[in-house]
Amino acid sequence: MKNIGQMMKQAQQMQAKMQEMQGKLGEIEADGQSGAGMVRVVVNGKGELKKVKLDKSVVDPEDIEVLEDLLVAAFNDAKGKVEAHIAEETNKLMGGLKLPPGMKLPF
């Protein structure tokens, strides 16, 4: 029965580390860009948009749709980077423990 007790202790430690990681999500930031860098955004680990930087050349009142598309693309780029970072950190935390397909952490 020592193994079960040890497993429970490891599970509690992992849970504490996951909670700590979730608490730090607001500190993680990723830069996303589109239009060869003409549109840049910064998104944090909670998915909050923190900053937008636009090159003057993409601001055309006659063609707002292009700017809208570039903003969406830049946001999705940054969001993908944040998700990849979180997945990498979670994998480190889990010590290589494989999760069943479709199960994502943090919960």
The domain spans of the chain are 27-93
Residue with tokens 């980077």: 81
Q: How far apart are CA 79 and CA 62, in angstroms?
A: 29
Q: What is the pLDDT of residue 24?
A: 83
Q: What is the pLDDT of residue 107?
A: 46
- Is 51 strand, coil or helix? strand
Quote the tokens at residue 85: 């970072």
- For the ranges 3-7, 45-49, 54-58, 98-102, the lowest mean pLDDT is seen at 98-102
Q: List, in sequence order, every residue forming a beta bridge with 54; answer none if it has no partner.
A: 39
CATH 3.30.1370.110, domain 27-93, yes or no: no
Average pLDDT score over residue span 31-38: 96
Q: What is the pTM of this model?
A: 0.74
- pLDDT tens for each residue of 37-88: 999 999 999 999 999 999 999 999 999 999 999 999 999 999 999 999 988 8
